[in-house]
Amino acid sequence: MTDLPRVVVTNDDGIDSPGLGKLAIKLAEDFDVVVAAPATDMSGSGTGIGGFDPVKGVDLTKAEMDGGFPAYTIAGPPGLAVMAAALGAFGRFPDLVVSGVNAGMNTGHSIIHSGTVGAALTARTFRSRGIAVSVAQSDPWQWETAVEVGHSAARWILGRSHGPYVLNINVPGVPVGEINGIHWADLDDFGYFRVANADVVDRKLQFVVGSSSAGTDPASDTALIAKNFVTITPLATIEPAGFPDLDAGAVWSPDLEREGRF
């Protein structure tokens, strides 16, 4: 046992992603780390846990990773890995879930579909905390920059007695020395997907990725990343919205049904 905070590290790119291993090794300098990540690429899974038989269970394999911490692959999306961790599958309840480093940005309202962000949000549904860390595409990938930011953010969020409880962090694909700063950022309208084309004849549905941040809110995450700023967006989990100021029977009731008003 250790008194260090328990940090579960996951991702949606799969256990073999370089960003996952590098981030876990860095976090293990300060925290009690356990890795629980999908066995294969599960990008786009959002907060999903997949379809499985809770009695038969889900395939789980012990993984070998540099760093000496326990690591597991799970036959399911990162949301399932986080749920399993929160329910005790890997020992102590996690004080924090860190998801990433994702290969590619997660900006705009499209992050609802991101497995990277979904893992962080799932952590909060169990009253833990979550951080999603993504790095913009570059050649070569700038994993080290994202790892440094993610490590600092983990120390910051665990040092607080109150919120924010979920952070979505995007890091430009440049060396640390070329970062222009860090901003709290609004979410872009959707993200960097701009156009969808449906060709029924050729049975193709294609999506066009925007070539720049032109036309986006300059305070948005997509625009700021393009200017080499790290962006941080606090997120909230799904909670009921305010109830309308009327009786629910206005939506449906047996009396209205009998009167033929539906």
CATH of the domain at 16: 3.40.1210.10
53 domain residue, yes or no: yes
Q: At what angle do helices 115-125 and 78-86 cross, to 10 degrees?
A: 20
In a domain, 164, yes or no: yes
Kindly state whether residue 55 falls inside one of the protein's structural domains.
yes
- Is residue 209 situated within a structural domain? no
Residue 26 in domain: yes
Q: How far apart are CA 64 and CA 52, in angstroms?
A: 25
Per-residue pLDDT of the chain (262 residues; tens, 9 = 90+): 679 999 999 999 999 999 999 999 999 999 999 999 999 999 999 999 999 888 999 999 999 999 999 999 999 999 999 999 999 999 999 999 999 999 999 999 999 999 999 999 999 999 999 999 999 999 999 999 999 999 999 999 999 999 999 999 999 999 999 999 999 999 998 766 778 899 888 899 988 876 455 557 899 999 999 999 999 999 999 888 999 999 988 888 887 656 655 4
What is the residue type of 211?
S
State pTM to two decimals. Answer: 0.91
Answer whether residue 1 is part of any domain: no
Under 8 Å CB-to-CB from 250, ≥6 apart: which residues?
A: none
Tally of domains within the chain = 1
Parent domain of 50: 6-191+217-258
